[in-house]
Amino acid sequence: MKKYFVLLYCCLTVYTLHAEDGYRLWLRYDKIDNSKLLQEYRNAISSIQFTRTSPTLNAAKEELLNDLQGLLDKKIQLQDKIDNGIVLIGAAADSIIHSLISNDTFNKIGKEGFVIKTVKRNEKNIIVIAGNTDVGALYGCFHFLRLLQTHQTIQHLSIVSAPSVQLRMLDHWDNLNRTVERGYAGMSIWNWQKLPDYIDRRYIDYARANASIGINAVALNNVNANATILTKDYLIKVAALANVFRPYGIKIFLSARFSAPIEIGGLKTADPLDEQVQKWWKQKADEIYQYIPDFGGFLVKANSEGQPGPQNYNRTHADGANMLADALAPHNGIVIWRAFVYSNDTIDDRFKQAYNEFKPLDGKFRKNVLIQVKNGPIDFQPREPFHPLFGAMPQTQVMTEFQLTQEYLGFSTHLVFLAPLFKECLDADTYAKGQGSFVSKVIDGSLDNHSISGMSAVSNIGNDINWTGHPFAQANWYAFGRLAWNHDLTSAQIADEWIRQTFINDKRFVDTVKTMMLASRETTVDYMTPLGLHHIMGYSHHYGPAPWYNTATRADWNPTYFHKADTAGIGFDRTATGSNALSQYAPEVSKKFEDINTCDEKYLLWFHHVPWNFKINSGRSLWDELCYKYYAGVDSVRWMQRSWNNLQGVIDDERFEQVKMLLTIQEKEAVWWRNACVLYFQTFSKMPVPKGFEQPDKSLEYYEGLQFPYAPGIGGNQ
């Protein structure tokens, strides 16, 4: 008997351990734990009906059957006649749907939008979920499930929703050997060796997760690309993934290595104006579309950080992009050309280089080219001003590139909710066409009437059981998808939804965790790079602080290049007396930053070399304020720890403990950042750490001596 109990106990433990390992992301669909709501939902939903079958509607059917059964804890039937409590799913062209939803409504939702509406038919209450396309209907189903998971009422539904941008894309920096450049969540989820025959369940769950938040495109491989992905053997593997993703509305893109015609095509050149090269790419595109008829197109990093590109042949970025665009155009494919370029030879401020390179090319790109611009001018720092290319290329479709993987924000051990960072960029006013010319309007195409639009983000996904390493890093994947769908959502709304779906709807838990999440980005800025500091992390691996580092082969890979601390002060003068990077913005924008006395302090050291004793708004000297911020950052992490610890027992122990351990690491590393930076900058300011603050317990030499030969995520293009 005892044996059985032990066995049962073990099974249960294994079961619960597995159940709360984070694998299910926000797609949990456990039984609604509020009895009143459960009753409401059970009354409203008795069975589901699909107008037709199609691969996408079948995916929706499987999703609804499983998930509703989980949420309502009752068997959900498939029906073929209209009855009370039916959820009816289909597309505009289906006659029954057409009879229930007006044309007007369908006109509002475009190709991928959806409507969810409570209607009456023959005295029966039914809920219609429909799109103009099946994928729209699938998105509607996921939204409907979200309503239930977040405990919304589903009486009198009338939801009409359409995406803000067309291309909502994840860029994986995954190498073919399964290492992930800047990946901190294990190896690549793409198991190239087992593809095309072995379809890992993860591929399907990945597609479900993306579809649930509207992500409709993925670039599978690193932008530091290996041409092998374009060979037949690999295209067959890619096609197998495309088959899994297709029902979920996801298109595949590949990062194309510009020199592929040489490396895998046997040509002597990759010159975009060479006819043989053009022919090679056309044939390659034709071949790809044979395997993947809905292939999205190419993502290209060219003439950047050692990657080959058109400039190797004295051609422009437009020449390079257009050649690929011409090869893809017959198949409706597109080219996403990255603007992350800074030259090896130019000594000009790195901030300015992408703009200098691309602005003169405005209007020179084909219609099926999108220029992908990082949110800020340097490189995914904890805080950057918006990239001056937004609004500067009205005749070119420009899209954003965000970074979910936390290369500069604590890898996968720091809890940093990135929605506020994304919003800061999207809500920034470029003044390109006067007040109100927000980055969001540039990239959704509305400011300049573009026909394609997009938002992308570098993925933070790996084969860790919980996908992203840190349970809270899942929130960044989620937030990106939700914002690409609707850039008007607030960070708080997104956090709220995510917490409810990923953990529980308990008010105290939701409120506490939301407050933590919303403060977390500013907290990280404070303990890493307050007041506009940037790029002061460890060399190459980017782990931890190294503001002292000054021996990189290029000046602009050195932290000292960016902070410019000396005995007079600290910060990069980018006004007219300095690099004049500010002149790349519209005058209304540069006006906000150019005066040291009125510049928003969050960006102060981005634009000014500020004397140590300069009085800033708080009344403190710059030095004191810098210390104050670094210390406040650490204090906030400690506050997060306390808040989290108070939640013990409210959620499962497994994720509770994981987050607790990770917060301990975050606290240690926040102290490391603070101490290392304060001690180092103090060698210039020669001022004391203000009274009352705990004094660093280690020396600057200690911090300078730390080495991390095996820090994760270092790149390559294997």
Q: How far is the CB of 264 from ligand GCW (least distance, A)?
A: 21
Q: Count other C-beta atoms under 10 Å from residue 156's C-beta.
A: 8
Of 576, 173, 485, 536, the residue nearest 340 (C-alpha): 173
How far, in Å, CA of 718 to CA of 243, rounded? 25
3-state secondary structure of 346: coil
The amino acid at residue 426 is L
Residue 610 contacts residue 571 (beta carbons within 8 Å): yes
Selected from 379, 556, 652, 704, the binder of ligand GCW by CB under 6 A is: 379
The pattern of x and - marking residues 593 through 612 that bind ligand GCW according to CB under 6 A reads: --------------------
Q: How far is the CB of 356 from ligand GCW (least distance, A)?
A: 18
Contact indicator for 313, 431 with CB cutoff of 8 Å: no
Comparing CB distances to ligand GCW, the nearer of 173 and 614 is 173
Range 58-87, binding ligand GCW (CB under 6 A): none
Using CB under 6 A as the binding rule, the residues of this chain from 390 to 449 that contact ligand GCW are 407
- Can you tell me which of 117, 172, 182, 383 binds ligand GCW, judged by CB under 6 A? 182
Choose between 340 and 431: whose C-beta lies nearer to ligand GCW.
340
Closest CA to 324 of 313, 311, 337, 314: 337
Tell which residue, 438, 500, 449, has the closest CA to residue 475: 500
DSSP string, 538-550: -TTT--SB-TT--
Task: Tell me how far, at minimum, the Cβ of 376 lies from ligand GCW, in Å.
Answer: 11
Decide whether 388 or 715 has the Cβ nearer to ligand GCW. 715
522 a catalytic residue: no
Angle (CA) 439 445 448, round 5°: 90
Out of 112, 181, 526, 669, the residue judged to bind ligand GCW by CB under 6 A:
181
For 467, the 3-state DSSP assignment is coil
Amino acid at 598: T
Using CB under 6 A, pick the residue from 380, 422, 503, 673 that binds ligand GCW. Answer: 380
Rounded to a whole number of angstroms, the minimum distance from the CB of residue 223 to ligand GCW is 5
Residue nearer to ligand GCW on the CB measure, 110 or 538: 538
Q: How far is the CB of 538 from ligand GCW (least distance, A)?
A: 12
Q: Cβ 631 to ligand GCW, closest distance in Å?
A: 29
**Which of these, 148, 200, 215, 89, lies nearest to 479 by C-alpha position?**
215
CB atoms within 10 A of CB 649: 8
By the 8 A CB rule, do 502 and 491 touch? no
Closest separation in Å from C-beta 10 to ligand GCW: 44
Euclidean distance between CA atoms 147 and 37, whole angstroms: 11
For position 357 contacting ligand GCW by CB under 6 A, the verdict is no
Q: What gap in Å lies between CA 303 and CA 220, rounded to an integer?
A: 21
With 0-12 / 13-18 / 19 or more C-beta atoms within 10 angstroms meaning exposed / middle / buried, residue 441 is buried
How many CB atoms within 10 Å of residue 601? 16
Of 16 and 346, the one with the shorter C-beta distance to ligand GCW is 346
* Shorter beta-carbon distance to ligand GCW: residue 390 or 408: 408
CB of 187: closest distance to ligand GCW in angstroms? Answer: 17
Least Å from the CB of residue 407 to ligand GCW: 6
Cβ count within 10 A of residue 244 = 15
What string marks each residue from 303 to 322 as x (binds ligand GCW by CB under 6 A) or -? Answer: --x-----------------
Residue placing its CB nearer to ligand GCW in the complex, 458 or 517 = 458
In b/e form, how buried is each residue of 557-596, taking b as 16+ CB within 10 angstroms?
Answer: bbbbbbbbbeeebbbbbbbeebbbbbebbbeebbebbbeb
* Distance (Å, whole) CA 677 – CA 699: 11
Identify the CA nearest to 118 among candidates 105, 94, 101, 93: 101
Q: How many other CB atoms are there within 10 angstroms of residue 619's CB atom? A: 8
| 304 closest CA partner among 223, 395, 211 | 223
Q: Min. distance of Cβ 714 from ligand GCW in angstroms?
A: 8
Q: Taking the CA atoms of the chain, what radius of gyration do you get in angstroms?
A: 26
- For ligand GCW, which is the closer residue by CB, 142 or 342? 342
CB of 717 to ligand GCW, least distance (A): 9
Give yes or no for a cis peptide into 196 (omega within 30° of 0): yes
CA pair distance 11, 5, nearest whole angstrom: 10
Report the residue from 29, 206, 337, 340 that binds ligand GCW according to the rule CB under 6 A.
Answer: 340
Q: Tell me whether residue 255 or residue 501 sits nearer to ligand GCW (CB atom).
A: 255
User: What is the nearest approach in angstroms of ligand GCW to the Cβ of residue 256?
Assistant: 14
Please check whether residue 583 is in contact with residue 590, taking contact to mean a CB–CB distance below 8 angstroms: yes
| Catalytic site includes residue 205 | no
407 is catalytic: yes
Site string for ligand GCW, 696-715 (x = CB under 6 A): -------------------x
Q: How far apart are CB 257 and ligand GCW at their closest, in Å?
A: 13
In the chain, the N- to C-terminal Cα span, in Å, equals 56
Instruction: Give the 3-state secondary structure of 93-144.
Output: CCHHHHHHCCHHHHHHCCCCCEEEEEEEECCEEEEEEEECCHHHHHHHHHHH
- Applying CB under 6 A, among 208, 251, 301, 482 the residue interacting with ligand GCW is 301
Q: Residue 89 or residue 458: which is nearer to ligand GCW going by CB?
A: 458
Tokens 């914002």 sit on residue? 483
Cβ proximity to ligand GCW: between 390 and 593 the closer is 390
Out of 205, 274, 379, 588, the active site residue is: 379
Annotated catalytic residue: which of 112, 401, 407, 464? 407
Which pairing describes strands 124-131 and 114-121: parallel, antiparallel, or unpaired? antiparallel
Query: Taking CB under 6 A as the rule, which mask of x and - marks residues 222-261 in contact with ligand GCW?
Result: -xx-------------------------------------
Q: What letter does residue 227 receive in the DSSP assignment?
A: G
Q: What are the catalytic residues? A: 305, 379, 407
**Residues interacting with ligand GCW, by CB under 6 A?**
173, 181-182, 223-224, 301, 305, 340, 379-380, 407, 715
